[in-house]
Amino acid sequence: MSTLAAPKTSFYDPQIEMAHGAGGKASRRLVEGLIAPLLLQHSNEPLGDAAQVCVNGARIAITADSFVVKPLRFPGGSIGELAVNGTVNDLAVSGARPEALVVTFVIEAGLPSGELEAEVRAIARAAKRAGVIIAGGDTKVVEHGKADGLYITTAGIGYPNPDLMLSPNSVRPGDQVLLSGPIGDHGVTILLARGELDLEADLVSDTRSVFPMVDALARAAGPGLRWMRDPTRGGVATSLNELAHDAGLCIFLSEDAIPIRDSVRGACELLGLDPLHIANEGQFLAVVEPAFAEAALDAIRRTPGGEQAAIIGEVREQPAGTVLSVNGYGGTRVLDMLVGDPLPRIC
Amino acid sequence: MSTLAAPKTSFYDPQIEMAHGAGGKASRRLVEGLIAPLLLQHSNEPLGDAAQVCVNGARIAITADSFVVKPLRFPGGSIGELAVNGTVNDLAVSGARPEALVVTFVIEAGLPSGELEAEVRAIARAAKRAGVIIAGGDTKVVEHGKADGLYITTAGIGYPNPDLMLSPNSVRPGDQVLLSGPIGDHGVTILLARGELDLEADLVSDTRSVFPMVDALARAAGPGLRWMRDPTRGGVATSLNELAHDAGLCIFLSEDAIPIRDSVRGACELLGLDPLHIANEGQFLAVVEPAFAEAALDAIRRTPGGEQAAIIGEVREQPAGTVLSVNGYGGTRVLDMLVGDPLPRIC
């Protein structure tokens, strides 16, 4: 660890607000301004979904996420399933094969045991489906009113594919941007599940492991695969803005190529939200060298669940650090990161 | 994963209470009756502080803990330091060299940024002191009133010492029981720090990494080292009861040999608590083959912080599954696990 200088922090917000947990600009300010400089050794490197560490000569991918989704259960999934798939996906898009998870529970006293059991079972099922083992965990209980039913944290380790060099720094102008499927399903499902809006839609969360798709893509594109990310909190727009910023390049999107279900589009229009800012839990973005783009797309589409994958844009040189989006009428707009927190506790 | 039969659960409490998080009997009922049967592959094996998994041929130790201690800061430490040392110690007593941690924060909206920064700095300091890197993490924010300032979860990986075979099943009658130092400091410090009791004591938490002591012990005792545990929630009595139960043997303690500070003893007497049930954060128990016991004790005592280590008892055959304790007057009592939750949110 460098001891040359005390790490510099640059976080000046007086207190923590919901927006700091929303995955957008405020989250980035907190993580890059305070947490990464103090905690991470190489905090000048772009932050990925999982880190790699060396244990006795073996490279291991490692990641962790806490889950505070509200409500605990929603169409298509629940907090337990989310907690497994979220960590599995962070490993997958970092280029690692997910191997094992550890799970901790912070439980609010008074939670009916049946609700806990349902989530423990959901975790077991999701882990089996994703092909990971649960190696251990911990349980804490806090007084009634000091949590919201149940918070779950999962950490995971995986085996990094030694052939992949995924990094914003690997991305080049001309590279193609791929998306695994329709966006916004998870975020809108959660929003509607809260029942606070007079809206209904036949929609379920997309929570699932993306590893089978990522694995097929990696085999098809090999070293032509440059970068991946699962666009959860903050959505596709935030993930691509982080890429544009970290790579110092422009991401140019064809908005009409982005798969969005009518129900998601409709709900977003009514609520004044941009589907590109809505959280996904079972999708991923990939940047692929142009020569491999068609084969990569084909590989994802042939994997169950990846049928609607699409090439949604390309990497350009200028204007560096921005995401531009062109719609069907030829209008171009600058797509910003998520600002504020329109969708609290989505995962 | 075995698919021969659906896992059997045996947890019948209707809802989760504080006692289920206290580390005693109710915790064991929850973990062994519900969580382990559903989540862990080999749930019939005794549960250790960390598990071992295989990633690409390399054996890795892995563990995770959530921390909900109240108050966040207390004499001798804070939640951030506890979160590092707790996970480091779980790896250490499992026989692994701690290597890397991941850290997640669940923050209550409204937490002053300075309080968060203090804990991030505490984590950085404790990690540096313990010789582990922080590889990554996550931040979530929940509404005011849905947490209690800050909850921290740490997961850690380490390199398992291939020469050690630590397990309750390795323990034999005649083995000696070692303790690294005075007990009860952490639990009583937290209790007094809450200010609800009209008691004061010149006492600080013992939170620290025990790895240097464990490492010295392992070198001195080698394969004569049979079992280790850090007696956190539920204290020494609970850890040794779990050992007695899992090994099917009796642990026979000489109560006068157990180092306890006068201030801890005094506070416990006033409060009607048994120091053997109080949580520790910087101590560990070890069971060592008799031929190595003196060398093992010497190795711990020569390590800074281990000066008060002691041999506190021995393993006997009968009565199997119990912990017996003999005092200076020759009186013998059965020492039970912690029952109920006299000390909520101690870590």
Residues B141-166 pLDDT 10s: 999 999 999 999 999 999 999 999 99
Which of B19, B60, B142 comes nearest A60 by C-beta? Answer: B60
pLDDT at res. A42:
63
Q: Does A17 touch chain B (CB under 8 A)?
A: yes
In percent, the amount of chain B with pLDDT more than 70 equals: 97
The residue that leads in pLDDT, A45 or B271, is B271
CB contact under 8 A, B102 and A15: no
pLDDT at res. A49:
78
pLDDT at A338 over 90: no
**Degrees to nearest 5, angle at CA A231 with A229 and A233:** 130
pLDDT at res. A195:
85
Average pLDDT over residues A286-295: 98
CA distances from A291 to A285, A294, A295 (A): 18, 8, 8
Average pLDDT over residues B108-123: 98
- Which residue from B152, B66, B47, A125 is spatially nearest to A117, judged by alpha carbons? A125
Q: Does A121 touch chain B (CB under 8 A)?
A: yes
Q: How far is B7 from chain A (nearest CA, A)?
A: 10
Residue type (1 letter), A90? D
Q: Does A127 touch chain B (CB under 8 A)?
A: yes
Average pLDDT value for chain B: 94
Average pLDDT value for chain A: 94
Write out the H or E segment, with its range, that includes residue B96. Answer: strand B96-108
Q: Which of B151, B163, B196, B343 to mutate to test the interface with A (most CBs of A within 10 A)?
A: B151
Least confident stretch, A104-108, B54-58, B129-133, B205-209: B54-58
Strand arrangement of the beta sheet that strand A310-316 belongs to: A225-229, A285-288, A176-179, A310-316, A250-254, A323-326, A332-334
pLDDT at res. B80:
98
In percent, the amount of chain A with pLDDT more than 90 equals: 88
Joined together, the tokens standing for residue B107 give 């923050």
Nearest chain B residue to A139, by CA: B21
Contact A176, A254 (CB under 8 A): no
Q: Does A257 touch chain B (CB under 8 A)?
A: no
Least confident stretch, A17-31, A297-311, B47-61: B47-61
Q: Sorting pLDDT into bands at 50, 70 and 90, what band is A153?
A: very high
pLDDT at A184 over 90: yes
Q: Does B201 touch chain A (CB under 8 A)?
A: no
CB contact under 8 A, A128 and B1: yes
pLDDT at res. B227:
98
Q: Does A5 touch chain B (CB under 8 A)?
A: no
Distance, CA of B78 to CA of B121 (rounded, Å): 11
Handedness of CA A66, B211, A134, A300 (dihedral sign): positive
ipTM of the complex: 0.95
pLDDT at res. A46:
65
pLDDT, one tens digit per residue, over A218-277 is 999 999 999 999 999 999 999 999 999 999 999 999 999 999 999 999 999 999 999 999
Distance, CA of B277 to CA of B341 (rounded, Å): 10
Average pLDDT over residues B276-304: 98
Provide the chain B residues 58-87 that lie in CB contact (below 8 A) with chain A. 58, 60, 62-68
pLDDT at res. B341:
78
Contact B183, B289 (CB under 8 A): no
Residue B62, beta-bridge partner list: B51, B157
